[in-house]
Structure 1
Amino acid sequence: MLAMQYEITLPADYDMDVIRARATGNGPRLDDFPELGLKAYLMRERGVAGSPVNQYGPFYLWNTPAGMNAFLLGPGFQGLTDDFGRPRVRHWTGLAYEEGGSAGAAPRIAVRRRWSVPDDARLTEVAEEAVREAGRLASLDGAVCAAAGVDPYHWEVVHFSLWEHDSPKAEGDAFQVLYMNTPERDRLSSHRLARSC
């Protein structure tokens, strides 16, 4: 599993209804995209829920690198690039994915928390803690799902969770969920951190 996100920061006076219309209008095009576990069309709006910026920041969970590459090098991402310029794309190797107690609900809020791995940290312990935290988040009231990943170039861990209500029980950057694709979400649960030898 691979987690992926890009963020497009927009002017303070940008009409965010354009982003809402883009998500709901273009969203169904990926409803059956091969190897896509989940895509959440995310937005932060300046002055709403403490956001300092207007931002479009979709988050993806891919079952394979081939699926991610097919999207990034295909017409859908090219259309976004044509409209907004080419954003830098972050990606993390997946450590865990857990369905929450509200897995069947439509999510309203997403929370993303990124943190740097200290230089003196034991990496096995960091990974195990990231997996435990994904499980803890998924167990909380209102959780739709939770995932964790690691970027071993920047040594950064990401936690991503989706919530059915406007009061998520997770810390981090909160985004409004505008639309979600889940063509191969059922395959995400098979991704677990391999135990060390």
Structure 2
Amino acid sequence: MHAMQYAITLPADYDMGIIRARVASRGHLLDEYAGLALKAYGIRERGVDGSPVHQYAPFYLWSDPQAMSGFLLGDGFRGVVRDFGRPAVRHWQGLFHGRGPAAGAPPRAFTRRTETLAEDADAATAVAEAAAAHEELATTNGVHTTALALDPHRWELVHFTLWADASPRAAGARFQVLHLSAPGAERPVTGRQW
């Protein structure tokens, strides 16, 4: 599994209805995309849930790295580049994936939190502790999906959780989910992945 996200920060006076309409008209295009576990079409709005910016920032979980590369070099992402410029795309190696009790309901929000591992921390211990926390989180009411991933270049963990509730009380940046494409949500290996 691989996690991926890009964030397009928009002007403070940007009409977020444009993004909502874009997702409403195009979101379904990835509903059957082979190799994609899920894509949460996330937005943040300035002044809502503590967001300082308007932002379009979809989050992906890929079960096939070749499909991820194909998407980034294909027509779908060309549309993003054409309309907004080419954003920096972050990606992380998957370490844990779990479906929660709310996996059958449409998610209304997701949280994303990054954590840089201390230079003197034992990476294996830190990852095992974070994975254990995600295992427990996956049993929490309201959780749709939770994932943990690692960027070994920065030694940074990303904690991603989809929620059935529109305003989850969880640490990290909060995003409203406008649409969820989940053609392979049940296919990625669940549990620890190392």
Shared fold (TM-score, shorter chain, > 0.5) = yes
How far is the alpha carbon of 1:156 from its aligned partner?
Answer: 0.5
Distance 1:136 1:190 in 2: 13
How far is the alpha carbon of 1:193 from its aligned partner?
Answer: 2.3
What is the DSSP-based 3-state SS (H/G/I as helix, E as strand, rest coil) of the residue aligned with 2:25? helix
Distance 1:142 1:120 in 2: 35
How far is the alpha carbon of 1:167 from its aligned partner?
Answer: 3.3
Moved more, 132-141 or 97-106: 132-141
| Letter of the structure 1 residue corresponding to residue 67 of structure 2 | G
| Match runs of 1:51-70 below 5 Å | 51-70=51-70
Q: How well do the aligned residues superpose, as a CA RMSD in angstroms?
A: 1.1
What is the DSSP-based 3-state SS (H/G/I as helix, E as strand, rest coil) of the residue aligned with 1:52? coil
Sort the Cα spacing of 1:141 and 1:169 in 2 relative to 1 into closer, same or farther, 3 A.
Answer: farther
Where does residue 83 of structure 2 map in the other structure? 83
What is the DSSP-based 3-state SS (H/G/I as helix, E as strand, rest coil) of the residue aligned with 1:101? coil
Q: Which runs of 4+ in 1 moved over 3 A?
A: none
- Stretches of structure 2 lacking an aligned partner (at least 5 in a row): none
Deviation readout 1:36-59 (Å, 9 max, x if unpaired): 000000000011121110000000
Distance 2:182 2:2 in 1: 15
Where does residue 10 of structure 2 map in the other structure? 10
Distance 1:93 1:12 in 2: 33
User: 2:148 touches 2:159 (CA, 8 Å); kept in 1?
Assistant: yes
How far is the alpha carbon of 1:189 from its aligned partner?
Answer: 3.5
Distance 2:145 2:117 in 1: 23
Deviation readout 1:154-186 (Å, 9 max, x if unpaired): 110000001111231421000000001011111
User: 2:41 touches 2:178 (CA, 8 Å); kept in 1?
Assistant: yes
Deviation readout 1:94-114 (Å, 9 max, x if unpaired): 000001111101011100000
Where does residue 160 of structure 1 map in the other structure? 160
Where does residue 144 of structure 1 map in the other structure? 144
User: 2:98 touches 2:190 (CA, 8 Å); kept in 1?
Assistant: no
Moved more, 174-183 or 120-129: 120-129
- Stretches of structure 1 lacking an aligned partner (at least 5 in a row): none
Distance 1:65 1:135 in 2: 24
Distance 1:133 1:180 in 2: 24
User: 2:35 touches 2:64 (CA, 8 Å); kept in 1?
Assistant: yes
Distance 1:161 1:181 in 2: 15
Distance 1:115 1:37 in 2: 23
How far is the alpha carbon of 1:138 from its aligned partner?
Answer: 1.7
Where does residue 96 of structure 1 map in the other structure? 96
How far is the alpha carbon of 1:24 from its aligned partner?
Answer: 1.6
User: 2:112 touches 2:159 (CA, 8 Å); kept in 1?
Assistant: yes
Distance 1:165 1:191 in 2: 23
What is the DSSP-based 3-state SS (H/G/I as helix, E as strand, rest coil) of the residue aligned with 1:185? coil
| Letter of the structure 2 residue corresponding to residue 49 of structure 1 | D
